[in-house]
Amino acid sequence: MKATAKAHTNIALIKYWGKRNESLILPMNNSLSLTLDGFYTTTSVEFREHLLEDHFLLNDHVVAGDEYYRVTRFLDLIRDFSSKPNLYAEVNSINKVPTAAGFASSASGFAALAAAATKALDLSVSNQELSRLTRQGSGSACRSIYGGFVEWEQGKQDDGSDSHAVQVAPANHWDVRVAAVVLSSKMKKVSSRDGMKRTVDTSPFYTSWVETIPNDLDQIKQGITDRDFEKVGRIAESNCLKMHATTLGAEPPFTYWHDTTLAVMHMVRDLRASGVPAYFTIDAGPNVKVLYLPENEETVQNTLRDVPGVTDVILSRSGQGVTYI
């Protein structure tokens, strides 16, 4: 009753921002991401007869509090799915995601946990079922089941039975790279979960944001099929700006951007003006991810490193979906 799985994190090019059902984690819109090989979580799960509760170690430290409860609640879902509802587990996760620098690990974390826990209980689940289960741990994590370019289909059913990810193109379809620009070691102040809820509940810009998604999705998928970097980058960047604009209309208003976030955004535009195609996207934190092509790797990396306030630039390629070790 033990298994180990590895999952990579993903960066959304068309953002998931808002839920229509908070307990089942059903989104308001489809989203689309690229799985990244540079950031991942490896998790072992062992169900043991004598345990009275779950134990969770993250990077060799015991985890308690909210983070622990999110994991045990998620394991409850998997236990319910199996014929062994009263078995507890030892969970041991190693993150190769710089969480202290504000990078989210929930995507790779819940994908690896779902894969390892279902395997440990010998449940035969398809990737689609695994993606549906993973979604209930953290929405964006359901995309990390697959490699390459991945779409999370919001689904229409109230029970979430058709809300899961599908692969749009595998990792080897196109060598697009991502530079993760680390700006701050502070933890983010508004979590993505709270931030999207506040936006849905209070921002007058929210409806217009949702209305623009279908067209952005059609366009970006065409761009991915055609390997049209300019098109994919342009749409990803504008989709990110629209998502962040909704937060400024929320009550109380908030933004994830720091001054260095803006400095990096300007630098990416300067790169483009000098003839280097590069585009940015930003999630629920101050760090910036920059999309670029392999031939421009050195220029992009050196330029971003030189921006005052940038502490690190971590390069990533397109990554694979969940694997078992």
Tokens of 172: 């080897």
Among 5, 7, 25, 150, binds ligand DP6 (CB under 6 A): 25
Site for ligand DP6 in 284-323 (CB under 6 A): 284
Report how far residue 183's alpha carbon sits from residue 180's, in angstroms, rounded to the nearest whole number: 10
Stretch that binds ligand DP6, among 12-20, 91-99, 216-224, 286-294 (CB under 6 A): 12-20
3, 271 contact by CB (below 8 A): no
SS3 track for 2-52: EEEEEEEEEEEEECCCCEEECCCCEECCCEEEEEEEEEEEEEEEEEECCCC
Cβ neighbourhood burial of 80 (10 Å; 0-12, 13-18, 19+): exposed
Taking CB under 6 A as the rule, does residue 139 contact ligand DP6? yes
Stretch that binds ligand DP6, among 13-21, 76-84, 174-182, 200-208 (CB under 6 A): 13-21
Number of residues that bind ligand DP6 (CB under 6 A): 15
CB of 157 to ligand DP6, least distance (A): 18
Tokens of 31: 């989203």
Report how far residue 196's alpha carbon sits from residue 194's, in angstroms, rounded to the nearest whole number: 6
Taking CB under 6 A as the rule, does residue 136 contact ligand DP6? no
CB of 87 to ligand DP6, least distance (A): 25
Taking CB under 6 A as the rule, does residue 41 contact ligand DP6? no
Site for ligand DP6 in 217-246 (CB under 6 A): none
- At 116 the three-state DSSP class reads helix
Stretch that binds ligand DP6, among 71-79, 137-145, 259-267, 270-278 (CB under 6 A): 137-145
171 alpha-carbon distance from chain centroid:
16
Taking CB under 6 A as the rule, does residue 280 contact ligand DP6? no
**DSSP at 161:** T
CB of 283 to ligand DP6, least distance (A): 4
Angle between helices 65-81 and 106-120 (to 10 degrees): 40
- Closest to ligand DP6 by CB, 12 or 116: 12
Q: Measured at CB, which residue is nearest to ligand DP6?
A: 139
- Closest to ligand DP6 by CB, 104 or 264: 104
Tokens of 211: 């209305």
Taking CB under 6 A as the rule, does residue 106 contact ligand DP6? yes
SS3 track for 220-284: HHHHHHCCCHHHHHHHHHHHHHHHHHHHHCCCCCCCCCCHHHHHHHHHHHHHHHCCCCEEEECCC
Taking CB under 6 A as the rule, does residue 192 contact ligand DP6? yes
Taking CB under 6 A as the rule, does residue 138 contact ligand DP6? yes
What residues are paired with 41 via a beta bridge? 7, 95
- Closest to ligand DP6 by CB, 18 or 88: 18
Taking CB under 6 A as the rule, does residue 193 contact ligand DP6? yes
Residues of this chain that interact with ligand DP6 (CB under 6 A) are 12, 15-17, 25, 31, 104, 106, 138-140, 192-193, 283-284
